[in-house]
Amino acid sequence: MISYTTVGIFIYNDDVRANIVNELSSSRFALRSYSQAKEFVNALNSSQIDCALADAFFQNGKGADILDKLLKGVCECPVLLVDTVMHAGVTLNATGFGVAGVIRPPLTRNNLLQAIELALANGRGQERVGSSERFAKEEALQGLTCREREVLALLVSGYRNKMIAHELGISQRTVEVHRARLMRKLNVKSFADLIRLAMENRSAS
């Protein structure tokens, strides 16, 4: 039986919500969308949602505060706030339910997927790597080149390939090569696994 990772999407604006669902429709995620805050919270309370995308700006920009109150003691998954209007006042003040970050326009497939993968990698409830496998991966991390370490650190910080290229003064293609080498050297199958491994190693060190 196939097990899907479920993403819950609460966006007040119908058009924006439909656009996000459309962008993610062919991804590996099972999607559940909601137009009302209480409906969204009830779903989190009764269903298994692995990552949540929540509107940060509904009700005059107070969405984060409202969700904070509604979700306390309910949400066990990482939450990404979606800034649908590029409003400067949107902040990460809703720490009560474990905000994983803010997604701002353009709400493209790549931007959405990368944010979700990072949130899942850093989220609670992730399976721990076995001790023998962990030791092997720690050794592999120690064997990375200085440049590979720099690229990995920026990936963990949420930088995209183009941003990393600009930061390090290298081409975007070179970043892609480093990223592929990192996954091969660390023997991981997905970007989320790569970030999770780096985060676990950083927490342990």
* Sequence-distant (≥ 6) Cβ neighbours of residue 19 within 8 angstroms: 107
Residue 48: the pLDDT is 67
pLDDT at 23 over 90: yes
Domains and CATH numbers, the chain: 5-122 (3.40.50.2300), 131-204 (1.10.10.10)
pLDDT tens-digit readout, 51-93: 889 887 765 555 665 666 556 655 667 888 887 765 544 444 4
What are 153-176's pLDDT values in tens digits?
898 888 889 999 999 999 999 999
Percentage of the chain lying above the pLDDT 70 cut: 69
Based on the number of CB atoms within 10 Å of its own CB, is 181 exposed (0-12), middle (13-18) or buried (19 or more)?
middle
Bridge partners (DSSP) listed for residue 8: 32, 52
Shortest CA distance to 81 belongs to which of 91, 71, 73, 72?
Answer: 91
> In sequence order, what are the beta bridge partners of 1?
none
Q: Is 78 left (phi over 0), alpha (psi -120 to 50) or beta?
A: beta
Apex CA 182: angle with CA 28 and CA 112, to 5°?
A: 35
Please give the mean pLDDT across all residues of the chain.
Answer: 78
> And the tokens for 75?
């949400």
Least confident of 24-33, 156-165, 188-197: 188-197
- Note the pLDDT of residue 141: 81
Predicted structure pTM score: 0.55
- Tell me the HSE value of 6 on the side-chain side, using a 13 A CA sphere: 12
